[in-house]
Amino acid sequence: MLDHPLPELEDWILLFSNNSLPVLRVTKRRLEEMRENLDAVDVRELARVILQDPIMTVRVLAYIQPMRGRFLQHDITTIGGAILMAGIEPFFHRFENLPTIEEQLHDQDPHALLGVLQVIRRAQRAADYAQDWAIRRQDINMEDVRIAALLHDLAEILVWCFAPKLGLMIHQLQVLEPTLRSADAQKRVLDFTFLDIQLALCGVWHLPELLKTLIDDDHAEQVRVRNVTLAVRLARHSAHGWNDPALPDDYRDIGKLLNTTPATVCRRLGVDVPAQFAEQDDEDTPAQPQ
């Protein structure tokens, strides 16, 4: 376990590329159950299992990319497509005896396991939001958006898994200084941001360009990137309840994305409508398209 920051970005990339990335224990268990009867494996159900686990998702995408280069001229950006390209039996052969996050952090500070599981749960919620909004926007490739939201904070998850002390330091900084930007806290501890690490990993793993773009908030002028960014923001701001002062701005921006009102956004989320939006009629006064 790493207990100090690495001096160069390339060192972080080597750390994560040269180690077998751990998956959730529940993912390993579900894959083992399916492996017992390969003839009965349903690709859609297998994809659903994988798409609940950010690390398993990126492992599958990284595994399939060299194969794609030999057989196809376009990127595979769906998990179901990746499984079909690999074949059921080779897929299960490749992903057996997987290490788990829970095993890897067993002897660490218990707060480290709690920390990484919270980030993963946040990523799962962001993916659900992103997919729901992509469907409402009639995005015909909504799984791209879901995967991008799921992987948006992958580097943070990896730091928790391989450098839990540093993950705890970043978390404690943000607790002690609530107004400190997340990226600034990351730079103080790591000398790099999670996004710096993540985009570099996307290149090393040859992930599809589309996913790299969707994960990068700097491309926020694109509606699909806004879809991902807002889903991640909402999941982050609501992680500890629905009282975060940043949430009203999120509701406004989501309303613009979906061409509806903030009040409608709140109702669809099943949360109380803030007072400043309460007088807005949910369907009669849509926001103007952006």
What value does the mean pLDDT take over residues 105-114? 94
The per-residue pLDDT for 104 is 95
Note the helical H segments in the chain: 9-17, 25-35, 43-50, 54-71, 79-86, 88-94, 101-104, 110-136, 142-151, 154-162, 164-176, 182-190, 194-204, 209-215, 223-237, 247-258, 262-269
The per-residue pLDDT for 152 is 92
Average pLDDT across the chain, whole number: 89
What value does the mean pLDDT take over residues 247-260? 96
pLDDT digits (tens, 9 = 90+) for 180-229: 888 999 999 999 999 999 989 988 888 878 788 888 878 878 899 999 99
- Asked whether the predicted pLDDT for residue 287 surpasses 80, the reply is no
pLDDT digits (tens, 9 = 90+) for 221-244: 889 999 999 999 999 999 989 999
* CB-CB contact of 80 with 146 (8 Å): no
Q: Which 8-state DSSP code applies to residue 273? A: P
The per-residue pLDDT for 289 is 40
What value does the mean pLDDT take over residues 68-82? 67
The per-residue pLDDT for 290 is 39
* CB-CB contact of 25 with 100 (8 Å): yes
pLDDT digits (tens, 9 = 90+) for 123-176: 999 999 999 999 999 998 899 899 999 999 999 999 999 999 999 999 999 989
Angle (deg, nearest 10), helices 54-71 and 154-162: 120
- Asked whether the predicted pLDDT for residue 102 surpasses 50, the reply is yes
pLDDT level of residue 68 (50, 70, 90 thresholds) = low
Which residues are CB-contacts of 221 (< 8 A; sequence separation ≥ 6)?
none
72 or 222, which is more confident? 222
The per-residue pLDDT for 220 is 79
| Percent over 90 (pLDDT), the chain | 69
- Asked whether the predicted pLDDT for residue 75 surpasses 70, the reply is no
pLDDT level of residue 69 (50, 70, 90 thresholds) = low
What value does the mean pLDDT take over residues 268-286? 74
Tokens standing for 280? 């807005």
Phi then psi dihedrals of residue 192, to 5 deg: -140, 165
| Exposure b/e, 87-110, CB count within 10 A at least 16 = b | ebeebbeebeebebbbebbeebee
204 alpha carbon, distance to own chain's centre: 18
pTM of the model: 0.90
Query: What is the C-alpha to C-alpha distance for residues 265 and 252, in angstroms, rounded to an integer?
Result: 8
Cα distances (Å, whole numbers) of residue 277 to 230, 259, 263: 19, 15, 6
